[in-house]
Amino acid sequence: MVDVTVTIRRRVEKPRHVNVDMTTKLGNLTAPDPVFTASGCAAAGQELAAYNDLTAIGGVVTKSIQLNPRAGRATPRMAETPSGMLNSIGLQGPGIEIFINRDLAWLADHNVNAVVSIAGGTVDEYAKLAGKLRGKPVSMIEVNISCPNVEDRGQVFACDKSAAASVVQAVKRAAPASVPIFAKLSPDVTDIVSIAKACMDAGATGLSLINTTLGMVIDTHTMRPLLAGITGGLSGPAIRPLALRCVWQVHQAMPEVPLFGIGGIRTGLDALEFILAGATAVQVGTVIFHDPGAPQRISRELSEALAERGMDAVEQAIGLAHRPPDVIVPELPDPPGDVLEDELYEDAVDEADVFAEDEWLEDQDV
């Protein structure tokens, strides 16, 4: 019988203050943190300020705004679905003038990065909206092109390369010169990479991936569609794998393009998945309805997750999942309580050249 000595290696207490550089660059915007709120899930920030320090996150992407006030669709406007929800709000909003004077002013007064999401029914409307933002305290413009084009039988801009490109081009021309422009794409297309390329060729600074995907629910009591708008946008963890796949594909095709990863992010590890897939930053939406403090929580969890992996800047993680098989990076130390044979562990250390052992591991006698 062989005498085996087993050593239990446990991670030492996680440091309370992790020192990870969370700044991230989105075109010429340097954001203090990679976590932003997603459009339509944070209104214009005011209501969330009670639950988050909005200056500590990347910024607030405001509800898509249009030229004129808009009442939106009839109710019911939402349905909960497995790990997600459907919404059919119909872009209710006060119109760009009130938005600038009330909401944008509030964000500026409170030193919150304002990413203004704009939406229109024609190319010209998008251009006018962008023009109105000249000279205003705007950190970035996000172009929500998941809107029906009234000049083309309601065909959604985001589903057509040339329509998407003409919107981006018009916004680029009209917008304040130094402000980054991100086009927000719909996943409801056969080839997201070709739409992404068209938007970049048209002058976008980066891309936001993804908007909701179309779904529906039928009420089995009334035996009719549950939403007044019949179909609605599906969001939440239910769409996370789909969103992640889009980020992966677009980053693979255009690794230099800054990307927002959006869709079903609920924890810091979810955010990390998107960053590893190639996102420069992330936006969190539906999770806010579950946990109004989610933006700051996710940012904290993300920085802890990065520290645990031996990274000292979020930038180091961007696109890392695409690395070739022979490129080795520090891996996560073994979970607490794992029982390892010494030799196996030594091998792993040699091969990966991970962090100093005493920083993470502590010998425990049994």
Ligand X SMILES: Cc1cc2nc3c(=O)[nH]c(=O)nc-3n(C[C@H](O)[C@H](O)[C@H](O)COP(=O)(O)O)c2cc1C
The residues binding another protein (CB under 8 A) are 40-43, 47-48, 50-51, 63, 66, 68-78, 80, 82-85, 87, 89, 92-93, 95, 228, 236-237, 286-293
What is the smallest separation between the CB atom of 240 and ligand X, expressed in angstroms?
7
Q: Which of 263, 268, 295, 333 binds ligand X (CB under 6 A)?
A: 263
- Tell me whether residue 41 is one of the annotated catalytic residues: no
Give the number of other CB atoms < 10 A from CB of residue 233.
Answer: 22
Rounded to an integer, what is the distance from CA 352 to the centroid of its chain? Answer: 31
Residue with Cβ nearer ligand X (155 or 364): 155
**Residue 94 binds ligand X (CB under 6 A):** no
Alpha-helical segments (H) within the chain: 96-98, 105-109, 123-132, 161-174, 192-201, 240-253, 268-277, 287-290, 294-308, 342-352, 357-360
217 binds, among another protein, ligand X, none (CB under 5 to 8 A by kind): none
The angle subtended at Cα 119 by Cα 43 and Cα 77, nearest 5°, is 55
**Residue 264 binds ligand X (CB under 6 A):** yes
Residue with Cβ nearer another protein (50 or 327): 50
Residue with Cβ nearer ligand X (44 or 287): 287
d(CA 197, CA 274): 20
DSSP, collapsed to helix, strand or coil, labels residue 279 as coil
Is 288:61 a contact under the CB 8 Å cutoff? no
What 8-state DSSP symbol labels residue 57?
A: S
**Residue 285 binds ligand X (CB under 6 A):** yes
Residue with Cβ nearer ligand X (47 or 363): 47
290 binds, among another protein, ligand X, none (CB under 5 to 8 A by kind): another protein
Is 81:24 a contact under the CB 8 Å cutoff? no
What is the smallest separation between the CB atom of 363 and another protein, expressed in angstroms?
33
288 binds, among another protein, ligand X, none (CB under 5 to 8 A by kind): another protein
Nearest by Cα to 84 from 202, 306, 204, 233: 233
215 binds, among another protein, ligand X, none (CB under 5 to 8 A by kind): none
Q: Which of 250, 265, 279, 302 binds ligand X (CB under 6 A)?
A: 265
Residue with Cβ nearer another protein (161 or 266): 266
284 binds, among ligand X, another protein, none (CB under 5 to 8 A by kind): ligand X
DSSP per residue, 192-210: HHHHHHHHHHTT-SEEEE-
Helix axes 161-174, 192-201, angle to 10 degrees: 30
- Catalytic positions are 147
Residues forming contacts to ligand X in the complex (CB under 6 A) are: 38-41, 63-64, 87, 89, 91, 117, 144, 184, 211-212, 233, 235-236, 239, 262-265, 284-287
